[in-house]
Structures are given as C-alpha cells and as structure tokens.
Amino acid sequence: MATLELINVTKRFGSTEVVRDVNLSIRTGEFFVFVGPSGCGKSTILRMMAGLESVSSGEIRIDGTAINDKPAAERGFAMVFQSYSLYPHMTVRQNLAFGLENIGTARPEINRRIEETARLLRIDSYLDRRPKALSGGQRQRAAIGRAVVREPAMFLFDEPLSNLDPELRVAMRIEIGTIHARLGNTMIYVTHDQLEAMSMADRICVLRDGQVEQIGAPLDLYNRPANRFVAGFIGNPRMNFLDAKIEKIESNGVQVVVEGVAPIFVLADAGDLRPGDPVTLGIRPQAVEVQQGTGLDFIVEATEQLGVESYIYGELVKGSKLIIQQRGQTPVTRGQRIKISLHPRFCHLFRTSPGEPALEPVEQRPLVTAAQ
C-alpha cells in the first residue's frame, strides 16, 4: 500500500496563492480529514492529490516517489464528489463499470466486482436505474460504489455529505466509517463541517487561507488547540473568547483577570509572556458550571432549552458575552442573575491574534502540533 506525502506543496491561480507550503504525510490505512472554512484550499489540495489540478511548486509523493506529473487515471485513486457526479445518462451499473472498462478489465471480473460492491453498499436493488431515479442517499451510495468498485489504493472524498439532509448525513457518516473498517484503504476526506471531521477522522488537518493550522487526532485538536483559530473552529458551540490580562504567573499555571470579574486561574505555561501582557481567554461552553451561592456574576439574556441539554446566552460583565452549555434542563429565565464557575481544565490561553500559537497547557506536555 502507500504512504502519501506532501512536501512544500503550493498552488497558485494567477498571482493568488490558494495553497501555501503544505507539508504532511498520510499513513497507509488512515482516515485523514481536511477541514476548514470555505476557501481555505482544502478541495484544491484534494484535487492536486487526485491529479485534477497541477501542483505549482513542491511535490506530492507516494512511497517516496513524486507523482506530480502522473495523470489522474494512473494514480490509482478514486474520488467521490460533492455533487456525486454520477454519469446521468448511464445506469448505476454502467456508472460502476465505466472506469473498469476504461482500464480494460475483463467482463466477468467487472461483473463480479459490481456484484460485490453492490452488496457491500446495498445498492443491488437499483443497479439498473439511472441516477435521476434515485434519492439523495441512494445516489451517494452509488457514487461511493463507483469508487469502491475500482479497488483503489486511496479514496478521496470531496465534501460528499454536504448535499444530504442532516439525518441521512449521520447515517452515511457511520456507513463510510464501516466501509473504511471493512476495506482498510487509506481514505482522505474533505469537509467544512468540524463535526464530520471529529466523528470520522483518525487524524484531522485544519486549514486556513491555504495553510496548515494544526494536524492531529480529533481529541488532540479539541483538548490542545494549537491556536485560537483551531480552538474556535473545533467544538460546538464555539469556544468563548474573552479579552484578559495576565496578573500572576505561577509554576503550574497563570492567573488572569477579565475586567470587572474575579481572577481566573488557568493551567497553562506563560512562555515568554509577562504579567500585565494582554491575552485571550478561551472558555469552552461546557467548561462553565451554573451553581448556587458563590461564583462569577452572570446575567442571562436568552436560553435555549433542548431537553437533554440547554444553552444559556448572556454576559459576564458588560461586553463579555458568553455561551454556556449545561447538561439537562436548567431553570433560568431572561434577565436573571446567576452565579457560574469555570473549570480550569477547559480554559485555554491564547496570544491575542488568532493565528499565533496558544499557550501550552502545563499538565499535558509535550504537545504534538503542526510543526512535526
């Protein structure tokens, strides 16, 4: 099988760089997800891997050999497109057979593989229908089938679930996971949905403006975001960010103050920062506890009661908005003043601009981050 490496890969369209100096390596059998907001270059990277887009500079290597100039057809990858891109004038069976016919596979072998794939994806009952006659989910399965039937060295998925309704999306997520487990092939997956990334990936690469922000296992990204951007991107609801100032640096952490609020202690290494330096305090909505008696003052502005959990929107002090996520049902009302406490383990400190590296949490060093 194959290890895929990107060495200093850059892509320019005219004078704009859409992918800048990307370095990474994807291991055999891995489920690797590129995630990032739209326009971050994730699809371009995938298309360069596929051979649909040329590489402006740098190298894409398989097992150490550069494949920059290899045509898409000879790379042995299969791709599932966002719009499915099933050939609308062919039946599902013909769609599956097309690629195999192109490489001169013998008829009996084609038939055998189609049968096998159809069984795996449970599309046997509509093999002889045109894509138009299929539902969204069925089309998606057929599109995956077209990739599976080729028995490729690697699967490339370009936002394959974004055209499905939310329920189906969850089902297909699990299904793709199952297929990955069954086939064991390397799968490279592009999405803008961090939930998809978190739930499916072995490793995630977060991209912004064509650059790698962080690569790591899903929980690494959640627990130890390399910077404020990653912290804000991974996790739902978003991490809260408050402006703060370093008050005191201790051996096992840093004490910061948000204006008008009691000091907060965070388990982080201040690095080169000094007391008095401005920082951004990141608080996961789950890190906040509503409690009786003592704590920080919080004014409720709105609540969303979802039954199994509740979201509380409000202000810590004037201008410091916060979202709080609580398990179960929290009986608070608009305008109510409540007390909250913060869990230091789920608080993070960042240098003030979003791209700059985070302050490392103390207890969990050494970190695995982008700079491998």
CB 61 to other proteins: min, Å: 19
CB 166 to other proteins: min, Å: 23
Q: Are 123 and 93 in contact (CB under 8 A)?
A: no
Q: Which two tokens stand for residue 10?
A: 């850059």
Residues 7-66 that bind other proteins (CB under 8 A): 47, 50-52
367 binds other proteins (CB under 8 A): no
Of positions 25, 85, 255, 330, contacts other proteins by CB under 8 A: 85
CB 87 to other proteins: min, Å: 6
Q: Is 41 left (phi over 0), alpha (psi -120 to 50) or beta?
A: left
Cβ–Cβ contacts within 10 Å for residue 364, how many? Answer: 12
Could you give the 3-state DSSP secondary structure of residue 335? coil
Q: Which is nearer to other proteins, 51 or 216 (CB)?
A: 51
Enumerate residues 6+ apart whose C-beta is below 8 A from 319: none
Could you give the 3-state DSSP secondary structure of residue 322? strand
Q: Are 319 and 279 in contact (CB under 8 A)?
A: no
Could you give the 3-state DSSP secondary structure of residue 289? strand
102 binds other proteins (CB under 8 A): yes
Of positions 65, 83, 236, 329, contacts other proteins by CB under 8 A: 83
Q: Which is nearer to other proteins, 14 or 166 (CB)?
A: 14
Residues for the chain: how many in total? 372
Of positions 7, 66, 72, 257, contacts other proteins by CB under 8 A: 72
CB 150 to other proteins: min, Å: 7
Of positions 8, 12, 57, 89, contacts other proteins by CB under 8 A: 89
166 binds other proteins (CB under 8 A): no
Q: Which residue has the tokens 């894409």?
A: 60
Return the range that interacts with other proteins (CB under 8 A); candidates 79-87, 282-290, 314-322, 324-332.
Answer: 79-87
Q: Are 272 and 259 in contact (CB under 8 A)?
A: no
Of positions 45, 79, 258, 283, contacts other proteins by CB under 8 A: 79
Enumerate residues 6+ apart whose C-beta is below 8 A from 17: 10, 11, 210
Give me the residues that bind other proteins (CB under 8 A), please.
47, 50-52, 71-74, 77-79, 81-83, 85-89, 98-99, 102-103, 146, 150
